[in-house]
Amino acid sequence: MGKSDNQSIQQATIMSLFSPFIDEIVNRVSERVLSVTAKKEPKFYTRKETADLLHVTLPTLARLTKDGLIVSKRVGSRILYEADAIDEAVKKQVIFKYRRA
């Protein structure tokens, strides 16, 4: 074997040793880049989507919005809810109790 064969074997050995580390670094960097770009565009849920996520009816959702427990945004004739706030309420398992009139 010549010097070039030994160098090729050494390079292949080094690459096989460092390949998992390089892959992990690439994965972490790409996750951070994707999370930063994804947060720039806020996501909104419709009334129906929000009611389904919270397991409430549309009238109950309207009451929760009126009482200020959930914040909504009006865009034209549509009422939208910020996905971050709704997702956080779902994660915390907030229970919205029914109120009898």
pLDDT in tens, the chain (101 residues): 556 777 888 888 887 888 888 888 888 888 887 776 666 667 899 999 999 988 889 999 998 889 888 889 998 999 999 988 888 877 777 666 666 65
Q: In this structure, are 48 and 67 located in the same domain?
A: yes
Please choose, from the candidates 53, 63, 52, the residue with its C-alpha nearest in 3D space to the C-alpha of residue 99.
63
Query: What is the token pair recorded at 71?
Result: 């914040």
Please check whether residue 57 lies inside any domain of the structure. yes
Q: In this structure, are 11 and 48 located in the same domain?
A: no
- Number of folded domains in the chain? 2
Identity of the amino acid at 87: D
Q: Which range marks the domain in which residue 31 is found?
A: 1-41
Please check whether residue 97 lies inside any domain of the structure. no
pTM: 0.52
Please choose, from the candidates 44, 57, 56, the residue with its C-alpha nearest in 3D space to the C-alpha of residue 87.
44
CATH value at residue 50:
1.10.10
Query: What is the token pair recorded at 33?
Result: 């880049």
Contact 86, 48 (CB under 8 A): no
First-to-last alpha carbon distance for the chain, in angstroms, is 90
